[in-house]
Amino acid sequence: MKRGAIVMPQPYKNLDGSLVRSGRFGLIGYRQDIREPGRIAFTIAHELGHWELHPYHSQAIACTAGDIAAYKGSGIEQEANAFAAELLMPTPMLAKTLRYASPTIQLAIEVAATFGTSLTAAAIRVVELIDCPAIVVLSSDNRVSWAVSSPKARPYYSVKRGDRVEGGALAWNCLTELDELEQPETVDASTWFSRDRDAQRLEVWEQSAVLGDYDLVLSIVSFDEL
Ligand SMILES: [Zn+2]
């Protein structure tokens, strides 16, 4: 409200968030049946990102769950996500804690709870700021929906949207719930890095869990060169 926009829940079916702009007045909407407060907060922060960053782009912006959670879509969606992540989980507040931590889903759960944001957004933030090679992967029906790598992960060890989740991965047909998670397990390097010639030199750990009712599997894959 201080920035000129008000927030209201909306009876959306296919959208998670929206921004309507009329001069200096903005209306931010979020889908009223999103249950997790952290996901609502991230959605609002994402729309606030459009409000602040894209005043000349369009007078009405509609954002799907994919735009907001999935780090895909057009450049403005990625900019709004980066804005929301920095607003809710400021680098200076997180960087020290994360620098020497291990990339685990438990850590992402902790970050999400501390900063009041969604688990996927927190998991992305963890791998973005952590000081070791790691990749956060979201998959559905054993296909990668999106993946975000840490700056320490060399680009040729990568997981890409559309990749198949291999049988040896914990993410494959995963039934593990978040509250049943144990420590990361070692998996065969070729499971996640089949396209990379040198991948056999990697020691790879993985954690995977199903996300609530969303039929999605969240994985954190971390690795070290042997
Ligand atoms: Zn958006």
**Taking a C-beta distance cutoff of 8 angstroms, is the pair 125, 114 a contact?**
no
Within 10 A of 8 (CB to CB), how many other CB atoms are there? 10
**What is the CA(75)–ligand 1 centre distance, in A?**
10
Provide the token pair at 209: 């869990």
Question: What is the pLDDT at residue 153?
Answer: 84
**What is the CA(88)–ligand 1 centre distance, in A?**
16
| Residues facing 135 on adjacent strands | 149, 221
Report pLDDT digits (tens) over 109-156.
Answer: 999 999 999 999 999 999 989 989 999 999 999 999 989 999 888 777
Question: What is the pLDDT at residue 219?
Answer: 97
**What is the CA(49)–ligand 1 centre distance, in A?**
8
Query: Domain-by-domain residue ranges, the chain?
Result: 5-88, 91-225
* Residues, beta carbon < 5 Å, ion ligand 1: 63, 67, 77, 80
**What is the CA(76)–ligand 1 centre distance, in A?**
7
**What is the CA(14)–ligand 1 centre distance, in A?**
13
**What is the CA(165)–ligand 1 centre distance, in A?**
28
**What is the CA(28)–ligand 1 centre distance, in A?**
11
DSSP strands (E only) in the chain: 5-10, 17-22, 25-31, 60-63, 134-140, 143-149, 185-187, 202-211, 216-225
| Nearest-angstrom CA–CA distance, 80 and 47 | 7
Provide the token pair at 113: 């709870």
**What is the CA(6)–ligand 1 centre distance, in A?**
16
* Residues in the chain, overall count: 226
Burial class for 142, CB neighbours closer than 10 Å (0-12, 13-18, 19+): middle
**What is the CA(145)–ligand 1 centre distance, in A?**
17
Question: What is the pLDDT at residue 19?
Answer: 97
Question: What is the pLDDT at residue 133?
Answer: 92
Question: What is the pLDDT at residue 214?
Answer: 64
CATH 1.10.287 fits 91-225, yes or no: no
Question: What is the pLDDT at residue 21?
Answer: 95
Q: What's CA 91's distance to the chain center, in Å?
A: 16
What is the 8-class DSSP label of residue 190? H
Within 10 A of 47 (CB to CB), how many other CB atoms are there? 28
**What is the CA(174)–ligand 1 centre distance, in A?**
29
Question: What is the pLDDT at residue 72?
Answer: 56
Question: What is the pLDDT at residue 169?
Answer: 96
**What is the CA(89)–ligand 1 centre distance, in A?**
18
**What is the CA(183)–ligand 1 centre distance, in A?**
34
Question: What is the pLDDT at residue 95?
Answer: 87
Low-confidence residues of the chain: pLDDT under 50: none
